Amino acid sequence: MAGSNKPVIWGLFAAGGTVAAFVVPVLILITCLAVPLGLLSIDVLSYEHLLNLMQQPFSKLVAFAVLFLVIWHAAHRIRITAHDLGIRNDTLVMFICYGISVASTLLMLAALFNI
């Protein structure tokens, strides 16, 4: 029986969709509503505070995990949307979408962990 990469792709898609559904709205709530309405101090989004936060290894790991999953979720969604729009060259679309995801992941690793 031949192996398939579908479980990996669908697993990343599902995990990314879950993160996008639960984490991204909280980030939007904090940056677009809580701080401007005065519910949180403006210092929460100051450069110094965010720099200190992102210098912590756990914060880097969490940021990487969230962005990684959302990027791979978006890649798969764009691939399926291209098919729905009538682009039938799935191999090319797959290489473009997942290639951009790989490049984004590597750039993110380099930026977050100074590789």
Residues 6+ apart with CB under 8 A from 95: none
pLDDT band at 7 (very low <50, low <70, confident <90, very high): confident
| Tens-digit pLDDT profile for residues 25-79 | 998 998 899 988 999 898 988 999 999 999 999 999 999 999 999 999 999 899 9
Helix ranges (H only) for 1-115 are 6-22, 24-28, 47-54, 57-84, 90-113
Instruction: Please report the pLDDT score of residue 1 as a whole number.
Output: 59
pLDDT band at 12 (very low <50, low <70, confident <90, very high): confident
* Cα-based angle 101, 30, 69 (whole degrees, multiple of 5): 20
Instruction: Please report the pLDDT score of residue 31 as a whole number.
Output: 87
DSSP for 37-68 reads: TTSS-GGGG-HHHHHHHHTSHHHHHHHHHHHH
Residue 22 has pLDDT above 90, yes or no: yes
Instruction: Please report the pLDDT score of residue 90 as a whole number.
Output: 87
Q: What is the end-to-end Cα distance of the chain in Å, rounded?
A: 39
Pair of tokens at residue 10: 């669908």
pTM for the whole structure:
0.81
Average pLDDT over all residues of the chain: 90
